[in-house]
Structure 1
Amino acid sequence: MNFKTFLCLSFFLSILHLTINAQTSELSVEKIMQDPAWMGNFPSSPYWGIHSENIYFDYNPDKNPADSLYRININEPQKIIKVTASQEQELIPRRGDFNDARTRKVFTINGNLFIYDMRSRKKRELLDLPFSIDDPVFMMNEDQIAFEAEDNAFLYNFENGSLKQLTHIKSGSGSEKKDKKLSDKDDWIQQENLELLEVVNQREEEKESSKEYRESINKDEDFIFYLKERELSNLEVSPNAKYAGFSLIKRERGKRTDVPNYVDKSGYTVNLPARSKVGDMDYTAELALYDLEKDTVFIIDTSELPGIKDLPDYTKDYPGKDWKSEPREVIPSKIHFSDNGEKAVVNLRSTDNKDRWIALIDLDKGSLTSIERQRDEAWLAGPGIGYTYYGYETLGWLPDNKHIYFQNEESGYSHLYILNVETGNKKDLTPGEYEVFDPFISNDKKHWYFTSSKVHPGERHFYKMPLMGGKTEQLTSMTGNNQVQLSPDEKYLAISHSYMNRPWELFLKENRVGSEPQQLTKGQSEEFASYGWREPELIQFEARDGAMVPARLFIPEENKKNDAAVVFVHGAGYLQNAHKWWSNYFREYMFHNLLTDLGYTVIDIDYRGSAGYGRDWRTGIYRHMGGKDLTDQVDGVKYLIENHNIDPEKVGIYGGSYGGFITLMAMFTEADTFEAGAALRSVTDWAHYNHGYTSNILNEPSKDPIAYRRSSPIYFAEGLEGDLLIAHGMVDTNVHFQDVVRLAQRLIELGKEDWEMAVYPVEDHGFVEPSSWTDEYRRILELFNESLLGQ
């Protein structure tokens, strides 16, 4: 073979090699990042009509700019009917309160009080007052209804039509001067304005009418409780109308930041008001008990709660600082009265979020007795335990007026407990290594219903259980996530169900074990359904500390494999993505299918800090974000190299928000592992993020600077060696654009070259425009193709 023939053959083999390794896909970035309407039409926000005959849900089969309300009658499940505007106005609101027999329901419409009779199917207006009515509830005497209006509690008897104001709470201090008399000139101008402008005059008349009405029903008031500079919250009347509980809130939110909008319609730069930064939150709350018979208010003392002066463990890292052992501020929940009105409990949480107490209230004295304390040296959270990002609080009374129920993480997982307030005996009703979500009591007060991850951390099923505990019945069976709306008569389940590669659809099922669910909607478009969307493999790999880390794995066909890997890092920190249902990250899921078609192996890890795996997993990032949450990504790469023949020189990483933060930490501190990274809407310095989220995990910057210093990527930027893409919306009011501007300046000062920034002038934290999504993911794909494959 001569040299010329050799060169031709070598060139041909090189072209053949490139052709074989340059895989193709029927997907493209433009296709998967277009308006999600291309995927089809999927139901959302389902709920039952009051008579358990119709399931209502948001739907959009006509591809309108927004969803509309539709319904399915369970007797004609094949028909999906659009609800007209007039029909929607006639629907009985979901909010409101049933009487014990569930024959009547009270609710409000446009601030007026109504009652609905289940037998006659007729609603009747009870009250139209000059002010708005909120939160009506039946009292023990079911002829009486309590409600809130203008920061006060009222009692209405709908049998005789009488109305009584129970509390006498007013803003201010009572020492304010009366309105100054207007001058002749200003009085003339005001009267002329009222005569000329009908709306202004009407509002003034309504204001005067409201004032006169309040004064007419308060003729005999002697006692007035003044709020002073505080706000009223959580107003709750006892079922026997003897007491009312409420919170008094005083907050200073600190200096707010501004986010410049450079593309405002005005043509000028307009500042958008945004949040303050972590540590800049001065919050105090007092718990008050209003004795309605004595017409007086007790401010309940919380300074003697057990452990209220305890210092957190992290203070030991600062021996030179003078730490004062003094009562911490607490955040109270609403007061929960027993059904007979004779007992009350309240949940109190320390503002540093390391303690919670459930306390029994002495209704005669207005004092507290702690009956349950939970402390976590990291921070308290988890399903049903409440606070900020972690859902609502589970707390209430059983019908016997002796037991309370609540959720607790003391076993390592959030479970449902009952506690006898008379004996102190406590029982875990749902023991095991799984979590419980959204428990509630059946209409007949004999059973619990709840959702749990008992079958698998990546599945959700609906259960029924005896009220005092015992054998559970699993009422759903479809693999994936089953989000259940129980019909008001408790005969049927409306199930929103999805699987890993199938978006949400609506199903109907009888409320009994073994009954088969009936699919009501089929929303996938032909175009979407024509592609073979993958079921990622659910795996676990061992981390360096021995923990087994859950992940989803997308594996290409052997003949397409390019020996490169991409690590996806989900956002939010406390979120689960290695599961068996349709991901909230559906665009990223489709992108991972595209990457897999192109020969990449993709891993999506539920790293330390993720939801769904209990307390220890949740708190694994305490005081060091970018610690175990990052080493879990590195150990995942090690798993791929050892088990899937990934080239160590061909590994990329990307993610948004918290995932963007991890990407930056990976590129700055694990340069030997990651060749390329795309950091989207990233936190770069945790001292610049918000208080509610960050102070839980890292405490406050002025109190625990060590945690912030080792957790913020901006301090490690000198470690950048690979190729980095930074992408951020310029009107991001969550993670501010300022974050990446500061980081960019740091990279410039360090003389770093292999990075670039893409900015999106009209995008907030969650992108909206398909053009922005397309541009961003085109850049990500180009980054991986160029940096990992040399294409």
Structure 2
Amino acid sequence: MTNNRLTVLCAALCAALLSPAQAKNNEPQTYQTNPISVPAVFQADHSIKLTMEQIMAHPDWLGRQAESAHWAADSSQIYYQRKREGSELRDWFVRPLNADNNGEPVALSDLHKIGADDAVYNLNRSLQAYVFEGDIYLRDMATAKVTQLTRDNERQSAPQFLRDGRIVYREGWSFYAQDTAGGQRTEVASLKLEEAPKAPAQPKGYLAQQQHKLIEFVALEQRNATERHQAQQQLQQQNSNLAPTAFYLGKDQHIVSASLSPKADYLLVAVRKASKRNDKDIMTNYITGSGDIAAQPVRARVNDATPAPQRILLLNLQDGSNTELSYSSLPGYNEDVLAEVKAENAKARGEKYKSEKVIRDIGLMNDWYWSQSAMRWHNSGEQVALMLKALDNKDRWIATVDFKQKKLLPQHRLHDKAWVNYAFNDFGWLNNSNSLYFLSEESGYSHLYVKPLTAKAKKLTSGTFEVSNPVLTQDDGYIYFQANVNHPGNYEVYRAGLASGKTEQLTKLGGSTSFTLSPDEQQLLLNFSTNLQPNELYVAEAKPDAAVRRLTDTISEQFKQLPLQAPSIVAVPSSHGKQPVFAKVYYPADYQQGEKRRAVIFNHGAGYLQNSDLGWSGYFREFFFHNLLTQQGYVVMDMDYRASKGYGRDWRTAIYRRMGTPEIEDLADGVNWLVANANVDRNRIGTYGGSYGGFMTFMALFTQPELFQAGAALRPVSDWAYYNQPYTSNILNTPAIDPIAYERSSPIYFSQGLKKPLLINAPMVDDNVFFQDVVRLVQRLIEQENINFETAIYPVEPHGFRQPSSWLDEYRRIYKLFEQNL
């Protein structure tokens, strides 16, 4: 695409997206709900007819888009990875901003020079540090000289600059500091998961005491061991050249995380009791290289998993003291937040529940979703903040530490009667004041807040949109972020001025745009896509209304020629609330002509995922399949049913304790909309989806058997008690506490309702949704003498299929199901 064509595309999209009156800063805003369609950007050949063989082929034919892009340290070029054609390996490319092509491959001999997206800087930003292949490298920002600091077979990680100029890094759970000019490295702290060495115990019991009294050799060994222990202690205390004594955290413990102060005077450590693997958590693999059957280890089921609470330890590196920080200062730490749930389940058992104060299990906020640590030090080293979460999923706290009193000081509590989101938990310190910034869903949408330690939090953004990926500038002037302000499916880049409180829109590209701020904070690396264009990289100055330049063109010519139709984004009126259900609709060219049409509703996976947006979808095979269906006269709808991402807290939590009810109500509204607005025959509509979408297919066909005439459930959940703990316990609590929610939400309890043809496609080495889920449901259907289902199995496939032959077989079966029954 040329820059001119990009400008035309942006103008068309922005005209469609902007509301009649832009909302002022900090005022609520209503989304644009008129149908939106992304204009075509390529010269398509309309004589081409899509085939199943092409669209289910290995995705290399799309062009192999840029991945893992990051800025060079001098902000003059970018690095990105690109998949090799016909291989799963990736190569690094360098693309100068002033070049006119996709850039050039980086030689293997130069890979250590490219830095990393998580590189760190010293206080005056004169040095950069990063990890390459387990070694630490330093870059002089003035000369661009790269120096290798470590070179060994140990793996270093987590580089960090101390306030005294040294760099510190980890090997396992030992922290080492080193001068940036090289020289001797010093152990700052070491964590040991064992008991501390002790002096030999005095003999206890009659026989032992007599043995030491009567046998001189035994008594001598006791004295020698005691003297050696005392001598080692005296040497450690009186000779400063020795490494500091390790911190012994005890056996049977697991270190969750550890964070060192920039002054190297304190170390915060989160530990929990070590858990042993359950030998029952296995998956059978029938197709192996050896020809034998393999029992592969897999995750625990929510029914069996009991997350261990964590202890937060404050380690004083100056005096060697170790203090556990109590959670008792956190508001609500002992509330019985599940009292209503427990009472309802007790009543169902014929019992009465008495609510009492309970000490809740608490630990660090899960940080698998975002890259930062849940323990954040101020760059001065004088303050530290922790993000903590109740393991019952109902509370999130931000707390600081009083080092003198050795206790937690609560700064913010986010309570949710349903569950606290795993997304929108970014937080940190302003660089030049003792103030925190953080995201919170407390208003119903993720927004930015700033909180001084001794004052109330101030809300920086407001409206019916979601803020994500906040990035603070070094001078505390701005926080840059991504948000869907104008339309729930349109993501642009914005910035909030901390002094002025003013929010500015920086990009107006119209699709889905994410960003990375350059190291000099003057430019934005943009990752932009539309429904019709996969992700490409762009650059713009970090200011409003800046010109946007394209950096990569990786889309294949074969893809550009396809006559693909962009779906319209429509707002389906909800029969169960004021907020509409946003959906993609694919129309055949002449859908209003002739007899009423067949239709298919696709159900996206993950539950908490957005697919009716304006960006390129991870469901690209489904996108092609939907285009193939429209070429054959079908109308296709793809709904962001309740529980989907992008629409605020209430939309997300509508499924709390009743998965499969709100979503199917939304599908019914979708059916009604298609009949009223898209010339669709109510008696010729099918549905399909994978993972959570497969679960929805089950629930739709089992609980509302007249809604669809056929359905395909791919890698589906049939019983939530068999799914994982982190995801499921958020929404349904746990089976031990809330069996009502599991039985209300699991398809296997409603299978007797199946009246229409059902196709079940199940991968056998799925370590996400176990094959066991399908096996149990199939056995139940057999016992119910139900003949309305067929099953296809895929022996070598995990949750996300890898083999083109499997994709092709699966979608041929789905297509056949619809052709035969619609």
TM over 0.5: yes
CA distance in 1, matches of 2:537, 2:821: 43
Match of 2:764 in 1: 730
Deviates more, 1:770-779 or 1:353-362: 353-362
Match of 1:284 in 2: 309
Match of 1:66 in 2: 89
Counterparts of 1:135-284 in structure 2, within 5 Å, are 135-141=158-164, 143-158=165-180, 161=183, 163-174=185-196, 219=242, 221=244, 224-252=247-275, 255=278, 256-282=280-306, 283-284=308-309
Contact 2:187 2:243 in 1 (8 A): no
Contact 1:336 1:396 in 2 (8 A): yes
Contact 2:688 2:697 in 1 (8 A): yes
Deviation per residue, 1:225-274 (Å, 9 max, x gap): 33322122322222222211111122436635211111112111111111
Deviates more, 1:669-678 or 1:436-445: 436-445
- Aligned to 2:428, the other structure's residue is in SS state strand
Match of 1:431 in 2: 462
Tell me the CA shift for residue 176 of structure 1: 9.2
Match of 1:83 in 2: 106
- Aligned to 1:626, the other structure's residue is in SS state coil
Deviation per residue, 1:524-569 (Å, 9 max, x gap): 3333222221121111112221331111111222347652111100
Contact 1:279 1:695 in 2 (8 A): no
Tell me the CA shift for residue 703 of structure 1: 0.8
Judging changes above 3 Å, is the alpha-carbon distance between structure 1 residues 257 and 174 closer, same or farther for their aligned structure 2 residues?
same
Tell me the CA shift for residue 464 of structure 1: 2.2
The answer to whether residue 131 in structure 2 is matched with residue 97 in structure 1 is no
The answer to whether residue 417 in structure 2 is matched with residue 417 in structure 1 is no
Tell me the CA shift for residue 64 of structure 1: 5.0
CA distance in 2, matches of 1:698, 1:61: 42
* 1:303 counterpart letter in structure 2: S
Judging changes above 3 Å, is the alpha-carbon distance between structure 1 residues 553 and 357 closer, same or farther for their aligned structure 2 residues?
same
Match of 1:315 in 2: 342
Alpha-carbon RMSD across the aligned residues, in angstroms, is 2.5
Match of 1:569 in 2: 603
2:383 is matched with which residue: 343, 367, 370? 343
Tell me the CA shift for residue 220 of structure 1: 6.5
Deviation per residue, 1:72-125 (Å, 9 max, x gap): 111223352122211223323443321232211123444444322111221223
Counterparts of 1:537-576 in structure 2, within 5 Å, are 537-546=568-577, 547-556=579-588, 557-558=590-591, 559=593, 562-576=596-610
* 2:438 counterpart letter in structure 1: F
> Identity across aligned pairs (percent)?
37
Contact 1:492 1:510 in 2 (8 A): yes
Judging changes above 3 Å, is the alpha-carbon distance between structure 1 residues 149 and 220 closer, same or farther for their aligned structure 2 residues?
closer
Tell me the CA shift for residue 483 of structure 1: 1.8
Judging changes above 3 Å, is the alpha-carbon distance between structure 1 residues 241 and 220 closer, same or farther for their aligned structure 2 residues?
closer
Counterparts of 1:477-496 in structure 2, within 5 Å, are 477-496=508-527
CA distance in 1, matches of 2:289, 2:242: 53
* 1:315 counterpart letter in structure 2: K
The answer to whether residue 419 in structure 2 is matched with residue 379 in structure 1 is yes
CA distance in 1, matches of 2:701, 2:297: 32
* 1:116 counterpart letter in structure 2: R
Judging changes above 3 Å, is the alpha-carbon distance between structure 1 residues 469 and 176 closer, same or farther for their aligned structure 2 residues?
farther
- Aligned to 1:233, the other structure's residue is in SS state strand
1:31 is matched with which residue: 36, 47, 54? 54
For structure 2, list consecutive stretches of 5 or more residues without a partner in the other structure.
1-46, 201-238, 366-373
- Aligned to 1:507, the other structure's residue is in SS state strand
Contact 1:172 1:228 in 2 (8 A): yes
CA distance in 1, matches of 2:595, 2:84: 39
Deviates more, 1:306-315 or 1:107-116: 107-116
Judging changes above 3 Å, is the alpha-carbon distance between structure 1 residues 153 and 721 closer, same or farther for their aligned structure 2 residues?
same
Match of 1:764 in 2: 798
CA distance in 1, matches of 2:321, 2:545: 56
Judging changes above 3 Å, is the alpha-carbon distance between structure 1 residues 254 and 629 closer, same or farther for their aligned structure 2 residues?
farther
CA distance in 1, matches of 2:502, 2:312: 39
CA distance in 1, matches of 2:465, 2:175: 41
CA distance in 2, matches of 1:110, 1:64: 21
CA distance in 1, matches of 2:196, 2:415: 41
For structure 1, list consecutive stretches of 5 or more residues without a partner in the other structure.
1-23, 179-215, 386-393
Deviation per residue, 1:316-357 (Å, 9 max, x gap): 313424665311110125432222222222111100110111
Tell me the CA shift for residue 279 of structure 1: 3.5
CA distance in 2, matches of 1:247, 1:378: 26
* 1:502 counterpart letter in structure 2: Q
CA distance in 1, matches of 2:422, 2:485: 16
The answer to whether residue 130 in structure 2 is matched with residue 107 in structure 1 is yes
CA distance in 1, matches of 2:357, 2:303: 20
Match of 1:504 in 2: 535
The answer to whether residue 529 in structure 2 is matched with residue 536 in structure 1 is no
- Aligned to 2:360, the other structure's residue is in SS state coil
CA distance in 1, matches of 2:504, 2:749: 52
Contact 1:684 1:714 in 2 (8 A): yes
Judging changes above 3 Å, is the alpha-carbon distance between structure 1 residues 62 and 485 closer, same or farther for their aligned structure 2 residues?
same
Judging changes above 3 Å, is the alpha-carbon distance between structure 1 residues 112 and 66 closer, same or farther for their aligned structure 2 residues?
closer
Match of 1:52 in 2: 75
Deviates more, 1:242-251 or 1:566-575: 242-251
Judging changes above 3 Å, is the alpha-carbon distance between structure 1 residues 76 and 356 closer, same or farther for their aligned structure 2 residues?
same
Contact 1:561 1:599 in 2 (8 A): no
The answer to whether residue 739 in structure 2 is matched with residue 716 in structure 1 is no
* 1:296 counterpart letter in structure 2: S
Contact 2:139 2:146 in 1 (8 A): yes
* 2:192 counterpart letter in structure 1: K
CA distance in 1, matches of 2:152, 2:503: 47
Contact 1:253 1:281 in 2 (8 A): no
The answer to whether residue 736 in structure 2 is matched with residue 705 in structure 1 is no
Judging changes above 3 Å, is the alpha-carbon distance between structure 1 residues 588 and 218 closer, same or farther for their aligned structure 2 residues?
farther
Match of 2:439 in 1: 407
* 1:306 counterpart letter in structure 2: P
Contact 1:251 1:284 in 2 (8 A): no
* 2:342 counterpart letter in structure 1: T
Q: Which has the higher contact order (CA 8 A, sep 6+)?
A: 2
Deviation per residue, 1:6-26 (Å, 9 max, x gap): xxxxxxxxxxxxxxxxxx981
- Aligned to 1:774, the other structure's residue is in SS state helix
Contact 1:170 1:226 in 2 (8 A): yes
* 1:724 counterpart letter in structure 2: L
Aligned residues: 720
Deviation per residue, 1:681-734 (Å, 9 max, x gap): 000000110101000000001110000001111111111110100001111111
Tell me the CA shift for residue 131 of structure 1: 4.7
Deviates more, 1:769-778 or 1:124-133: 124-133
Tell me the CA shift for residue 39 of structure 1: 2.4
Contact 1:683 1:739 in 2 (8 A): yes
TM-score normalised according to structure 1 size: 0.87
CA distance in 2, matches of 1:338, 1:443: 13
Judging changes above 3 Å, is the alpha-carbon distance between structure 1 residues 345 and 519 closer, same or farther for their aligned structure 2 residues?
closer
Judging changes above 3 Å, is the alpha-carbon distance between structure 1 residues 640 and 157 closer, same or farther for their aligned structure 2 residues?
same
Contact 2:129 2:139 in 1 (8 A): yes
CA distance in 1, matches of 2:271, 2:413: 23
- Aligned to 1:513, the other structure's residue is in SS state coil
Match of 1:358 in 2: 398
* 2:375 counterpart letter in structure 1: I
TM-score normalised according to structure 2 size: 0.84
Tell me the CA shift for residue 291 of structure 1: 1.6
- Aligned to 1:701, the other structure's residue is in SS state coil
CA distance in 1, matches of 2:291, 2:459: 61
